Structure 1
Amino acid sequence: MMANTTSTFVNGLARISEEPQCRPQHDIFATVLSVGLILGLLASYIPQHYRIIHKGSSEGFSPWFLLLGSTSSAAGMLNLYTLQWGIIKCCRVLSAWNCIESLGAIIQVTIQWSMFSFVFILYLIYYPTYLKFEKVPSPPSLMPHQTNVKTNEWRMSIVLAWATLAHFVFSAATTLFLLLSTAPQPATPEHPSPDPTRQISLWATFLGVTSAALAVIQYAPQLVHTYRAKLVGAISIPMMCIQSPGAAVMVVSIALREGTNWTSWAMYAASGIMQGSLLIMCLFWKARQRRLGIDDFGVPVSHLEQAVAEAESDSILSPDRRIEEAEQLEASEETPLLAGGAEDNEPKKKTGWFGSLWKR
């Protein structure tokens, strides 16, 4: 019996010693990845911010894309805060550098969320004025005049912006309530346990799955919007060139961190795949714009097309109308001066469905 008691006591001590405690994390590889990702995030988003501000227009963005992206990144950020809440509490017993090193993944996702949300803010600030309002004629019974009313897309953008803010406030408040009310109290102030409770783990899983699901459908409206516009608009291609491969690095960096699981990095994997698809489409439209002689917003850039733009400066053309004008000018430049020449006898080339898409 004495032997059994001694064995039980030793096993108990072993379990206690194996319990997670606050300890410094010195993973050089993970730290280098985090620093590189933080610099990459800043380098990728700053050109997008500058592009919107410099052009003075956010035309080309889908408000649904910005809503889904903001809510997805917010849910992913709160997922990591929830899973690593114990590590955050450990900062009170760690040095400043060890705390920063331990919270590398949290710093990454916080910067990513803030930079993307700032794109949404710039979208609202620099939304084109001529797309905000439309003139509606007065009823026949009244004196003839026109009234400016908000367009459907601008009205929707405002509603989606408020929905994004409401989602963040609700998710953040719920996360904070659960962490403060159900988080396990540390056994001793010197050694708080970083393990979350079951309730917190379930909430973190919900946030992670929601974030991944939103990321999957996030790019669907933007892909449709960009395909229909057949213009790059205010979307930054350099940003996507950095972020698309950077998503894979983001996944690895988060997966290496203590306390994370697949729900923490699934959103970034899905976003990388979908963003790569959008990048390919934008590169295709970029080449088409160069062939038609128009810029990213459909404005003519050649001297002949500039004359058309100046002649119609009083009424701003829509993107579809701009493309139509550019195609008509391109066709007129290729038309010979003398009709009915030898070119009439030449057989017409078949372009096929791919050529038709290119011409559209």
Structure 2
Amino acid sequence: MNSMRDFSIFLSTRDEDINQCSVFEGASTVNLVFLLLITLGIFISYLPQYHRIYSKKTSEGLSVNFLLLGSCSSIFTLTNIILVSGRARDCCRTRAINTFNCINSQLNLLQIGVQCTCAIFILIFVLVLTKNSIKQDKTEYAEIIKVGHFVLIHGLASVIQIIIALSTNHKVLISIANVNGLLSTLLTVIKYVPQIFTTYKLKHPGTLSIGMMCIQTPGGFIFTATLFFTKGSHWSSWISYLFAALLQGTLLSLCIYYEYFRNEGINASLNEQREIGRIVDENIETERSNDLERDASRENTPLLT
């Protein structure tokens, strides 16, 4: 009698798993190609920003809070999608869905993984390429180093979250995923506020790339749509990208106005030159003071016989 009951429980559990996995079936080849092209587009969209940091060798125009919140919001989103896509990976492991549908079910993870990595690389490029630049504000660079340490700690904390969530039941996992999704949305909203304020105050985009935003703003709406319509998607995985596209569009409009329309961009160019000149003068004066201190120290050092 007990064996019959256990067998019936096994069948009901298996039927439940099959029903849960059925949401990932029916993926199309067109959808696969479209999502792969969007993933490639995400990577390409960051190249203008990398090139701008490389060519200017300064973070002038980039808000430190924008770098911090942008990196952390990406980590929150990546943590969310790793947990949300766990059910699809279970279906792949138990072969409840075929290989093609399995690959399609993990494309959102690939997309957000690429986006997260590219966003954090903006911070890494600033840390590496502006370290010894005479055009880099040293006080601001010290703040960016602190940001790098904090982002590293956040990344390690997210790894611990993922390990804990994947070792618990599905209800706890979804709760942790939702928290990360909501925090990502909150930081996405907040991160554009200091950057919009910085650009408004400076009256020029500086190191912030207009080319990157021209690609990412419409791409953000398309990316949100792909996440929304993907089989088995969850609202907490795409809502942050919707807010990001809206706010990035606002920032892009501000940058285009200063760079091309306000006095035909002459004011923006002069403002940037003045700000870079101020930073260079400060760095030269600081280096000169350090040289004088070193010379005075050597003169006061007694000679050894």
- TM-score, normalisation: structure 1: 0.66
Distance in 1 of aligned mates of 2:116 and 2:182: 17
C-alpha spacing 1:294/1:276, structure 2 compared with 1 (3 Å): closer
Distance in 2 of aligned mates of 1:265 and 1:283: 27
Distance in 1 of aligned mates of 2:143 and 2:181: 27
In structure 2, the partner of 1:168 is: 155
Deviations 1:64-119 (A, max 9, x none): 10111111111111111101112124444476654432211110000000011101
- The within-5 A match list for 1:201-280 is 201-280=174-253
C-alpha deviation, 1:200, in angstroms: 0.6
- Contact 1:25–1:102 under 8 Å retained in 2: no
Greater RCO (Cα-Cα under 8 Å, separation 6 or more): 2
Helix, strand or coil for the counterpart of 1:299?
helix
Helix, strand or coil for the counterpart of 1:234?
coil
- Contact 2:71–2:151 under 8 Å retained in 1: yes
C-alpha spacing 1:294/1:265, structure 2 compared with 1 (3 Å): closer
- The within-5 A match list for 1:1-360 is 16=16, 19-21=19-21, 25-92=26-93, 93=95, 97-127=100-130, 128-133=133-138, 151=139, 153-179=140-166, 181-183=167-169, 197-287=170-260, 288=262, 290-292=264-266, 295=269, 298-299=272-273, 317-318=277-278
CA RMSD of aligned residues (A): 3.0
Helix, strand or coil for the counterpart of 1:182?
coil
- Contact 2:204–2:268 under 8 Å retained in 1: no
C-alpha spacing 1:223/1:316, structure 2 compared with 1 (3 Å): closer
| Structure 2 segments unaligned to the other structure (5+ residues) | 1-7, 282-305
C-alpha deviation, 1:283, in angstroms: 0.4
- TM-score, normalisation: structure 2: 0.77
Taking only the aligned residue pairs, the percentage that are identical comes to 29
- Contact 2:202–2:271 under 8 Å retained in 1: no
| Structure 1 segments unaligned to the other structure (5+ residues) | 1-7, 134-150, 184-196, 301-314, 322-360
Helix, strand or coil for the counterpart of 2:20?
coil
C-alpha spacing 1:268/1:95, structure 2 compared with 1 (3 Å): same
Distance in 2 of aligned mates of 1:164 and 1:116: 12
Give the count of matched residue pairs: 266
Larger radius of gyration: 1
Distance in 2 of aligned mates of 1:252 and 1:199: 27
